[in-house]
């Protein structure tokens, strides 16, 4: 049995749900309320000491870290395959996923906390906010959250986050010259992994990073949205509370991106 601890809008949870949908795998699970801090519950921390989502439990075996979960699923359930056969293409797929882990995920978190999550967290009292931050075990992540909540898009690390997004999307544009998907003709884990990060940018008003500027990425995103997995794994789990949280002034996000990236 597959059991997934997840967040409804967590980008790492989304990419695992996309892979599960692409493989046609049924799963049970629990949606943790990350705004409430369910990921810090003692029972969950025993499964995932990093106190983040997702966590996959397969027949009693616990797998953490979303990229590792993706590869685990592809190896444990090899049909349909979501990695290329060609060794070089496999390396390219892993490189796109590594770039997410090495930089894009942090960039996405920074921009999300500076916009959508900020407006929710600012409703807390100072003591409640301090308690929220104190629960975060990763010191660097905690400090990025604090700065994003305090300063919004003016936080000092937002500019670098936008530059990281720009670079990743440019890398996608370059790769897509060779085919409709990131490693060529076939959909792979690389595409599944990138999906929630473009969706998040889209929701937050940063779709200008590719619209009219990166036509191959724009076409890729439309292709991704047309896949059944997008509706079931990305859109359907979004709650009304999520929709309210992600209703942000899109023009402010894009104005900041244009300033940082010197887009006329």
pLDDT for 28-73, tens place per residue?
999 999 988 999 999 999 999 999 999 999 999 999 999 999 999 9
- Range of the structural domain that residue 187 is part of: 87-261
Query: Is the same domain home to 62 and 145?
Result: no
- Report yes or no: 189 and 21 within 8 Å, Cβ to Cβ: no
Query: Is the same domain home to 142 and 65?
Result: no
Question: What pLDDT sits at residue 1?
Answer: 94
Question: What pLDDT sits at residue 136?
Answer: 86
Q: What mean pLDDT is reported for the chain?
A: 96
- Report yes or no: 83 and 172 within 8 Å, Cβ to Cβ: no
User: What is the model's pTM?
Assistant: 0.95
Length in residues, the chain: 264
Query: Is the same domain home to 40 and 112?
Result: no
Q: Is 82 inside any structural domain?
A: no
Q: Is 200 inside any structural domain?
A: yes
Cis peptide leading into 113, omega within 30 of 0?
Answer: no
Give the model's confidence band at 264: pLDDT under 50 very low, under 70 low, under 90 confident, else very high: confident
Query: Is the same domain home to 31 and 108?
Result: no
Query: Is the same domain home to 212 and 233?
Result: yes
Q: Is 245 inside any structural domain?
A: yes
* Bridge partners (DSSP) listed for residue 64: 55
Give the model's confidence band at 82: pLDDT under 50 very low, under 70 low, under 90 confident, else very high: very high
Looking at 140-154, 167-181, 237-251, which range is the least confident one?
140-154
């Amino acid at each position: 049995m597959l059991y997934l601890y997840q967040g409804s809008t967590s980008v790492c949870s989304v990419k695992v749900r996309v892979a599960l949908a692409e493989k046609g795998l049924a799963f049970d699970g629990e949606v943790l309320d990350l705004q409430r801090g369910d990921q810090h519950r003692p029972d969950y921390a025993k499964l995932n000491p990093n106190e983040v989502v997702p966590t996959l439990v397969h027949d009693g075996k616990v797998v953490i870290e979303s990229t590792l979960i993706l590869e685990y699923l592809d190896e444990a359930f090899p049909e349909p395959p979501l990695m290329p056969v060609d060794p070089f293409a496999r390396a390219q797929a892993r490189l796109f996923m590594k770039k997410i882990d090495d930089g894009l995920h942090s960039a996405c978190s920074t921009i999300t906390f500076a916009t959508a999550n900020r407006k929710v967290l600012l409703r807390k009292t100072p003591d409640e906010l301090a308690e929220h931050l104190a629960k975060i075990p990763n010191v660097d992540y905690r400090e990025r959250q604090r700065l994003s909540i305090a300063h919004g898009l003016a936080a000092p690390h937002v500019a670098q986050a936008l530059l990281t997004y720009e670079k990743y999307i440019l890398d996608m544009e370059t790769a897509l010259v060779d085919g409709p998907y990131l490693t060529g003709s076939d959909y792979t884990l690389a595409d599944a992994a990138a999906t929630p990060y473009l969706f998040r940018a889209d929701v937050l008003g940063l779709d200008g990073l590719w619209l009219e500027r990166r036509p191959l990425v724009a076409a890729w995103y439309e292709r991704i949205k047309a896949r059944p997995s997008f509706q079931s794994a990305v859109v359907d789990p979004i709650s009304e509370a999520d929709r309210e949280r992600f209703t942000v002034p899109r023009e402010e996000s894009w104005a900041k991106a244009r300033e940082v990236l010197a887009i006329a």
